[in-house]
Amino acid sequence: MNNLQACIFDMDGVLVSTEKYHFLAWKELAESLGFTIDEVFNEQLKGVSRAVCIDLILQHGGIDVSADEKQHLSDKKNTKYLKYISTISRNDVLPGVVSLLEELRKHGIKTAVGSASKNAPFLLEKLELTTFFDVLVDGTQISQPKPHPEVFLKGAEKMAVQPQNCIVFEDAQSGVQAAKSAGMYCVGIGNPAILSEADMCVNGVYEISYLDLAIL
């Protein structure tokens, strides 16, 4: 890329380690239905909407339920998840996030959150991160879940920047695919073997500074 103008951050697993709580809540739900899910299966759940997650889980367990029951089960999972995150605070923001956001703002780079989560506004408030971002696109604002690029394209549009001038930070396979389909540069957070479509991979935001991004 030659003209960095904006950075778009996925939330769960990039700004805060909430992926483990999503996993635990889904696992408890699966176990209440008589089967289980493991971390390998969980990779498919990362980045995708709650509605897609419940479909994947029920399919995995070989269970068919009515639309009403499906809604009830995904509400149940969300109640469990909200319990897990009830004590989350600013201390849970992942290392390097606040300093990178401050650096980006200092250099006039716009910032957005691009998350599939409908809990994103609530969680960002709890983390005291809301004001660090110019734009928030969450699960309530999109009709097509990742790997569709809608969430990131909407973020770019709201910031009035072109996709090719954006860098996305993502920890999920579906999110990396969404960023690439949007025509954006993608920094994968996590295992490069899993995030093989990312342009580069790091272990966490703490490994990245504004200067690293400016020379890409």
CA distances from 140 to 2, 42, 51, 61, 82 (A): 32, 22, 12, 27, 17
Which CB atom, from 54 or from 166, has the smaller least distance to ligand BG6?
54
**180 interacts with ligand BG6 by CB under 6 A:** no
Q: Which two tokens stand for residue 198?
A: 């990312």
Q: What is the bridge-based pairing of β-strands 110-114 and 185-189?
A: unpaired
Site size for ligand BG6, by CB under 6 A? Answer: 18
Contacts of 32 (CB under 8 A, 6+ apart): none
Pick what 190 binds: ligand BG6, Mg ion, none; C-beta below 5 to 8 Å, kind-dependent: none
Minimal distance, residue 13 CB to ligand BG6, in Å: 6
Residue 9's nearest CA partner among 96, 108, 107 is 96
**118 interacts with ligand BG6 by CB under 6 A:** yes
Which CB atom, from 58 or from 116, has the smaller least distance to Mg ion?
116
Minimal distance, residue 120 CB to ligand BG6, in Å: 7
Pick what 53 binds: ligand BG6, Mg ion, none; C-beta below 5 to 8 Å, kind-dependent: ligand BG6
Active site residues: 10, 12
Q: Which two tokens stand for residue 45?
A: 């759940």
Contacts of 198 (CB under 8 A, 6+ apart): 170, 176, 179, 186, 187, 188, 192
Which CB atom, from 15 or from 109, has the smaller least distance to ligand BG6?
15
Q: What's the start-to-end Cα distance of the chain, in Å? A: 6
Out of 115, 165, 173, 177, the residue judged to bind ligand BG6 by CB under 6 A: 115
Would you tell me which residues interact with Mg ion (CB under 5 A)? 10, 12-13, 171-172
